[in-house]
Amino acid sequence: MLSTALDNARVMALNDQAGHYKAHGYLDKAEQCFIEALDLAESVDGFDPALLATLRDGLAGLRWEQQRHAEAEALYLEVLSTREQLFSSSHRLVGQSLQTLGNCYLKQGRIGEAARMLERAVQVYREDTPDDLEPVSACLASLGLAHLQQDNLAAAHKAFSESLGIYQVQQPRDEQVIAVLGEQLKMIEHLGKGAWWKFW
């Protein structure tokens, strides 16, 4: 079946509808739309593989909310692999996939894997969009949490400090995040008193 503009429009409409349902908590309806969109996209010859990856990424997010973490991880890894093949290894979409996986691993307590993914994501963002610091700031905050759970206070302090520095110059300012990062830094500095290394 050849791809047509009508097919593409139908797929994206289903994807948008799925996102709407998901945002409002109608997970069963969202699942139906995601699966219908994927089934249609996969049946169309020549369907844009980048858009197909976006559909799978959306379904992965739904699977995560449904607590089906193994299925979500498999989909996220598939999306990452597709994006690495389609784009350069330093493309921002690759960074987004790495960041998403890193955050998932962090929530599961898989701290070493989380730190590796988040470190790669930070590097990708800095290479692809050095002037866009917004994704870097959130990624660094997550990386700081990973390092903190590894008891690597120096690395955690560095990540939180860099993240805070970015959040402080962003407009509009997110005062809640700024306050949380500040508290994390104070706690680390208190824990690190008397250590042989220094934060500055």
Q: 137-174: string of b/e by CB count within 10 Å (b at 16+)?
A: bbbbbbbbbbbbeeebbebbbbbbbbbbebbeeeeeee
Residues 92 and 80 in one domain: no
Residues 160 and 76 in one domain: no
Judged against a pLDDT cut of 80, whether residue 179 lies above it is answered with: yes
| CATH code of residue 153 | 1.25.40.10
Residue whose token pair is 């197909």? 52
Residues 72 and 150 in one domain: no
Residues 78 and 97 in one domain: no
**Structure token pair of residue 60:** 């992965």
Reported pTM: 0.89
Write out the residue range of the structural domain in which residue 10 sits: 1-86
Q: Strand locations in the chain, DSSP E?
A: none
CB 30 within 8 A of CB 60: no
Residues in the chain: 200
**Structure token pair of residue 106:** 């962090």
What are the angstrom distances between the C-alpha of 20 and each of 15, 30, 58, 111? 9, 8, 11, 32
Judged against a pLDDT cut of 60, whether residue 155 lies above it is answered with: yes
pLDDT band at residue 97, thresholds of 50, 70 and 90?
very high
- Please give the residue that has the higher pLDDT: either 144 or 192: 144
CB 160 within 8 A of CB 144: yes
